[in-house]
């Protein structure tokens, strides 16, 4: 069974660095990235990079805790919690991999926790 840890670690590293090389290394050239399941995806690594950097978080602004729900050679489902100083989100990620371990399709579901 392939563990998604290296890819997730790379994603979190890219999230915190906003380094274009870190981001680009995660995705195939023709990857698609759905920021919501039924929205139009970011299409291709260049578009993913441009959109990511256009809405980037400040390095270290958020923490991300996660665990795998299902892992196969081709797809991983990850459940996580993203915590910012002023808000928290539950996340569900579906990551489809190319044979070389890079992501060819990424879909995320996110739900904001109620403020109390």
Containing structural domain, residue 35: 4-112
Contacts 24+ apart (CB under 8 A), 86-94: 87/112, 87/113, 87/115, 88/112, 88/113, 89/113, 91/64, 91/66
Domain count, the chain: 1
Mean pLDDT of 61-73: 92
What is the predicted pLDDT for the residue at 27? 98
* pTM for the structure as a whole: 0.89
Instruction: From residue 2, give the alpha-carbon distance in Å to each of 26, 35, 69, 101.
Output: 16, 24, 13, 10
pLDDT category, 115, cuts 50, 70, 90? low
Mean pLDDT of 25-47: 96
CATH number for the domain that contains residue 59 = 3.10.450.50
Flag whether pLDDT at 1 surpasses 50: no
The string of pLDDT tens digits covering residues 76-103 is 999 999 999 999 999 999 999 999 999 9
User: Taking the CA atoms of the chain, what radius of gyration do you get in angstroms?
Assistant: 14
Flag whether pLDDT at 15 surpasses 90: yes
Flag whether pLDDT at 73 surpasses 90: no
Q: Which residues have CB under 8 Å from 106's CB, separation 6+?
A: 27, 31, 32, 33, 34, 93, 94, 95, 96
Flag whether pLDDT at 3 surpasses 70: no
Residue 114: CB atoms within 10 A of its CB come to 6
Q: Could you tell me which residue, 112 or 3, shows the higher pLDDT?
A: 112
Can you read off the two tokens belonging to residue 43?
């299409």
């Amino acid at each position: 069974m392939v563990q998604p840890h290296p890819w997730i670690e790379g994603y979190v590293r890219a999230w915190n660095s906003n380094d274009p090389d870190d981001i680009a290394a995660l995705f195939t050239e023709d990857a698609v990235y759905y920021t919501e399941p039924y929205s139009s995806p970011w299409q291709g690594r260049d578009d993913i990079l441009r959109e990511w950097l256009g809405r980037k978080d400040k390095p270290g602004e958020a923490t991300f805790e996660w665990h795998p729900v299902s892992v196969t050679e081709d797809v991983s489902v990850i459940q996580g919690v993203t915590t910012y100083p002023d808000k928290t989100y539950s996340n569900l990620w579906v990551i489809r991999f190319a044979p070389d371990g890079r992501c060819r399709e990424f879909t995320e579901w996110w739900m904001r926790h109620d403020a109390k």
